[in-house]
Amino acid sequence: MTVPVLFAASARDWQNYAAPLQAACADLGVKIDLQRQPDDAAAVQYVVYSPDGGMTDFTPYSGAKAVLGLWAGVEKIVGIPTLTQPLARMVDPGLTEGMVEWVTGHVLRHHLGMDRQITNQDGVWQPLFPPLARNRSITVLGLGALGAACAQALRALNFPVTGWSRTPKDIPGIDCLHGTEGLDTALSRAEILVLLLPLTPATDQLINAPALARMPKGAVVINPGRGPLIDDTALLAALDTGQISHATLDVFRVEPLPQEHPFWAHPQVTVTPHIASATRPETAVTVIAENIRRGESGEPLLHLVDRTQGY
Ligand code: NDP
């Protein structure tokens, strides 16, 4: 039997995903009919989805068994009122690998003080040794697919790592905290803070003036999570007083970051254009194919979103 699957993502995604997704499904023993404009909307069994495809009304596809997201973050999807089916988000090994590389690179930049050497090419010989990783405390907020992998990679480099999540966690080598009290302790240890929380009503502006004040003086903020996790005005004020020495920001409240935004010109801010990581078709198709296989054999889907929590 052929399973009708709607591909509701961008034209570029269609080019990158269509053939590999059909092949990945075939490898798992499921023959799919992947369509961009289905002849019979009511027959569609799965919707492969990303918001940049432009579809916001799921009413014609109310017969579908599940919506399978191509993105890890679902803040633009969970609130769509016509999306009533189970929603799975993307947990892709390639996405995780990319995030580990980006976070590790930016942490090491600040830990080693690389900017001093990169910008100081004027003949001044001034040896300044960075501390060892064992003496630099890092906090990762969010211990999900991405945060846990980054925390473990940083621990493997010998950094003491504190992690924080909503529910209790047990990750070897990581001091895992949770809840409001846990957050205060986690922030107080954050010489380098990495944000890998989803954007939900509970995390919106979590990093505000009081949170920044709890961090050690001169701490670094690295945000590959979502822009609104941070109160921008409070961050700029903390940068100007030296409470925060640098912010490396990959995500923003408005993207692309508007030209007039003070982050662009601030000497202690590094802006990267939402490139920390991306879903990689070569690994992501296996995740989607596995969920279609599970759906067809009546097994529970992987990576289901909890709509009450918003992630
Ligand atoms: P997960 O859902 O796997 O993990 C989210 C983590 O955040 C969990 O540990 C969760 O806690 C924790 N969390 C959620 N809400 C709260 C809260 N209120 N208080 C404390 N902890 C909380 O997500 P991923 O790791 O896959 O992705 C994280 C985010 O990274 C995405 O939502 C997305 O915004 C961003 N992202 C950015 C990319 C980029 O290129 N910049 C690329 C991909 C993703 P618990 O474990 O208890 O549930």
Burial string for 113-136 (b: 16+ CB within 10 Å, else e) reads eeeeeeeeeeeeeeeeeeeebeeb
Q: Which of 274, 280, 303, 307 is catalytic?
A: 274
pLDDT band at 84 (very low <50, low <70, confident <90, very high): very high
93-271 and 2-92+279-297 share a CATH fold: yes
pLDDT number for residue 123: 85
**pTM score > 0.85 for this model?**
yes
Amino acid at residue number 131: P
Atom of ligand 1 nearest to the CA of 203: 18
pLDDT band at 82 (very low <50, low <70, confident <90, very high): very high
Separation between Cα atoms, residue 137 and residue 5, nearest integer Å: 47
Is 274 an annotated catalytic residue?
yes
Q: What does the pLDDT look like over 277-306, one tens digit per residue?
A: 999 999 999 999 999 999 999 999 999 999
Give the mutation target among 95, 96, 165, 206 for probing the ligand 1 site: most ligand atoms within 8 A of CB.
165
Mean pLDDT of the chain, nearest integer? 97
pLDDT number for residue 79: 95
Give the mutation target among 196, 223, 270 for probing the ligand 1 site: most ligand atoms within 8 A of CB.
196
pLDDT number for residue 117: 86
What mean pLDDT is predicted for residues 6-12?
Answer: 97
Q: Is the pLDDT of residue 161 over 80?
A: yes
Residue 196 beta carbon below 6 angstroms from any ligand 1 atom: yes
Overall fold of domain 2-92+279-297: Rossmann fold (3.40.50)
pLDDT band at 122 (very low <50, low <70, confident <90, very high): confident
Separation between Cα atoms, residue 255 and residue 260, nearest integer Å: 13
Residue 227 beta carbon below 6 angstroms from any ligand 1 atom: no
Contact yes or no for 186/130 (Cβ under 8 A): no
Bond preceding residue 81 cis, omega within 30 of 0: no
- Among candidate residues 250, 216, 245, the one with its CA nearest the CA of residue 230: 250
pLDDT band at 231 (very low <50, low <70, confident <90, very high): very high
Residue 200 beta carbon below 6 angstroms from any ligand 1 atom: yes
Is 303 an annotated catalytic residue?
no
State percent of the chain over pLDDT 70.
Answer: 100
Q: What does the pLDDT look like over 247-261, one tens digit per residue?
A: 999 999 999 999 999
- Sheet with 161-165, strands from edge to edge, namely 175-178, 161-165, 138-141, 192-195, 219-223, 244-249, 269-271
Domain regions of the chain by residue span? 2-92+279-297, 93-271
Q: What does the pLDDT look like over 259-279, one tens digit per residue?
A: 999 999 999 999 999 999 999
Looking from the CA of 246 toward its CB, the CA atoms found within 13 Å total 17
Q: Which CATH number fits domain 93-271: 3.40.50.880, 3.30.470.20, 1.10.3080.10, 3.40.50.720?
A: 3.40.50.720
